[in-house]
A and B are shown apart, each in its own frame.
Chain A
Amino acid sequence: MAHGDQNQAHHGHHITPIATYAKILGLLVILTILTVAVARPVSGFDAGILNAGIAFLIASVKAAMVLAIFMGLKYDKKIHLAIFISAVFFLIVMFTFSVLDIYTRIHVESTL
């Protein structure tokens, strides 16, 4: 990155130190190991209905770190963050209504 030190203040472009990248990479690796560790077939750990929730939570934290640091969203214009959050909002809409259906169904035993 020879041009990295050229007049960066002019663009207002944030340069993330290598050390930060390394720390985030370390965290990602640890969280990946954690994901595997809490998987029932591997460790026998079983939180019942929360199994998927825990996996999604860890994955979300990892994704947030990648977005904020590796993809630079943390230092970017706020409009880009807003665009990203709007996409997440629509994803939540999709999940919410689908789940609303699935958990309000009245179970009927087959009469066939």
Chain B
Amino acid sequence: MATAQVVSEKNYLNESKGLWSWLTTLDHKRIGLLYMVAVLTFFLLGGLFAMLLRVELFAPGKTIMDASQYNQVMTLHGTIMVFMVIIPGIPAFLGNFILPLHIGAKDVAFPRINLLSWYCLITGASIAFFSLFKNGVDTGWTFYTPYSIQTSNGTTFVVLGAFVMGFSSILTGLNFIVTIHTLRAPGMSFWRLPLFVWALYSTAVIQVLATPILAITLLLIAAERLLGIGIFDPKLGGDPVLFEHFFWFYSHPAVYIMILPAMGVVSELITAFSHKTIFGYKAIAMSSIGIAAVSFFVWGHHLFVAGQSEVAGIVFSFITMLVGVPTAIKTFNWIATLYKGSIQFQSPMLFALGFLFLFTIGGVTGIILATIGVDVHFHDTYFVVAHFHYVMVGGTLMAIMGGIYYWFPKIFGRMYNEFWARVTFVLIFVGFNVTFYPQFVLGSMGMPRRYYDYLPEYTSLNRISSVGAWTIGTGFLIALFVIIHGLLKGKKAEMNPWGAKTLEWTTSSPPPHENFINEPIVTAGPYEYR
């Protein structure tokens, strides 16, 4: 191993120079970084709107904005965070960078389509932003009918933007499936794939199967708006609940587009920082596929009180509970991996452990909400808001942060400042719980979501929640500085600073243009620790 320690001078970062070389690059690593820049920018914006929402909710009544501005800011926050941050976050950014390295390939199967998918995201996001700001769209990110059909014309464009961004997602998924099937290095059998690859594979299947449904549904909205065809609007003989069916047929599996790759990252982090072979490799790999499969049969749990029939409600409630099985399989295997491991608490591991803690709360409250009788009361309260933030932020964002720190040395060839990275973990983890735990309580007290005002008895818990939100905000700002500081001033990274065993750590940091000087030959599984 020591012989390969020589850091090659030529790498993918300095291979060619200039903005144009980046905007036309076909290198999956550079495209991954293009995604990083886009996603971080969107995240800053979406986060800013979250901060504004929490300022408004600091006190009852009007604080800094009126009710309709609040609805617009909430729509901005939701649309940006869902379509532009967490959906592309892990697959398109970390996945793009790491997947070919993980399987010992030179690149993805279709490099041009890969670049095209980035431009789809940027084009779709631009269309959506233009309309969100210009027309003050206030439908929320779900575009529920009949309101989305009757409200201002801006909705058509936001929907079109989401449609175009959907193509980005489909193309990335397609690319990954073909890459995993055809470009594995010699000896890299399916049972030797790192678990992050299994997670990306399951995600890609969902992206390819579910996203077209969203696209068609959004087209139907446009058709109804522009041509007056009655599909969802009861005035025209349509059924608004049908929209919710079609929308959640995509959007529930989309929740797994957001969380499955995060679980993949966490599998990598936990085994690497426990310096121990992962427990139950096949079980974790198969549970990813299991979650992807079950995810298509549960969407009706969003419609329990929307006018869906009781029979359908009971069926969906039951199937939703089944998601808990593969999810718990993963969690138990991660904990079993920790058992008797040589655990190191570097910042990526802290985020992975934070994920375990927060995601479990998010998952268990999901079972509570899946129980139809309970959900009748909790539906559209802050309990739901707290639940999905525990999954999306406590799950996915924790994994993104852990993944960024973990692969930082590989991506940029430099180390970040470990002390400040741990500070960001403490701020984000503590701030997160301070923000969202009170929202469980608020929800069970009956505070409805999406309102800009609330009754005086909810004031103190809302204040705690707002202070927590600003703590998270501070944490993420410091994280941004840690990243920029590491990029500019960080000390040179070794080839394998963590002592991890997957293939990306056997090439130089940063990797050369085509990843490996000699094509790797795989002779063992991905986690041969002890």
A residues in contact (CB < 8 Å) with B? 86-87, 90, 93-94, 97-98, 100-102, 104-106
Contact = CB atoms under 8 A, between A and B. Distances in A.
Contacts of A106: 309-310
B246 interface: yes
Interface in B81-121: none
B312 interface: yes
Q: Interface size class for chain B?
A: 20 to 34
B42 interface: no
B309 A104 contact: yes
Contact of A94 (B213, B239, B241, B312): B213
B239 A105 contact: no
A100 B296 contact: no
22 contacts: A87-B209, A90-B209, A90-B296, A93-B297, A94-B245, A94-B246, A97-B245, A97-B312, A97-B315, A97-B316, A98-B246, A100-B309, A100-B311, A100-B315, A101-B245, A101-B300, A102-B239, A104-B310, A105-B308, A105-B309, A106-B309, A106-B310
Given A101-B300, A101-B303, A101-B311, 13 more contacts: A87-B209, A90-B209, A93-B296, A94-B213, A94-B246, A94-B249, A97-B297, A98-B245, A100-B312, A101-B245, A101-B309, A102-B242, A105-B307
A44 B333 CA distance: 64
B246 A101 contact: no
Interface in B230-247: 239, 241-242, 245-246
A50 B303 CA distance: 28
A37 B242 CA distance: 30
A56 B158 CA distance: 31
A17 to B, nearest CB: 32
Contacts of B307: 105
A87 B299 CA distance: 18
Interface of B: 209-210, 213, 239, 241-242, 245-246, 249, 296-297, 299-300, 303, 307-312, 315-316
Given A87-B209, A90-B209, A94-B249, A101 B312 contact: yes
Contacts of A93: 296-297
A57 B82 CA distance: 38
Contacts of B299: 97
A86 B311 CA distance: 26
A93 B248 CA distance: 13
Nearest to B314: A104
A97 B209 contact: no
Contacts of A87: 209
Nearest to B241: A101
A97 B213 contact: no
A27 B13 CA distance: 58
A104 B311 contact: yes
Q: From DSSP, what is the main secondary structure of chain A's interface residues?
A: helix
Nearest to A87: B209
A87 B216 CA distance: 14
Contacts of A104: 309-312
A78 to B, nearest CB: 16
A100 B300 CA distance: 11
Contacts of B246: 94, 98
Given A93-B296, A105-B309, A98 B242 contact: yes
**Of residues A94, A98, A101, which shows the largest number of chain B Cβ atoms within 10 Å of its Cβ?**
A101
Contacts of B296: 90, 93
Contacts of A102: 239, 242, 309
Nearest to A94: B249
A101 B249 contact: no
B427 to A, nearest CB: 42
Q: Which of A86, A87, A100 has the most CB of B within 10 A?
A: A100
B127 to A, nearest CB: 27
Contacts of B239: 102
A100 B299 CA distance: 13
A97 B299 CA distance: 9
A102 to B, nearest CB: 7
Contacts of B312: 97, 100-101, 104
A109 B239 CA distance: 16
A39 B80 CA distance: 45
Contacts of B300: 97, 101
B176 to A, nearest CB: 15
Nearest to B208: A87
A106 B299 CA distance: 21
Nearest to A103: B309
Contacts of B210: 90
A41 B148 CA distance: 31
A42 B159 CA distance: 35
Nearest to B253: A90
Contacts of B297: 93, 97
A100 B309 CA distance: 8
Nearest to A98: B245
B425 to A, nearest CB: 39
Contacts of B241: 101
Contacts of B316: 97
A106 B241 CA distance: 14
A78 B310 CA distance: 41
A50 B297 CA distance: 27
Contacts of A97: 245, 297, 299-300, 312, 315-316
A94 B242 CA distance: 11
A8 B143 CA distance: 52
Task: Give the top 7 A-B pairs by smallest Cβ distance, nearest first.
Answer: A101-B312, A104-B311, A104-B309, A105-B309, A98-B245, A101-B308, A94-B249
Contacts of B309: 100-102, 104-106
Contacts of A101: 241, 245, 300, 303, 308-309, 311-312
Contacts of B310: 104, 106
Contacts of B209: 86-87, 90
Contacts of A105: 307-309
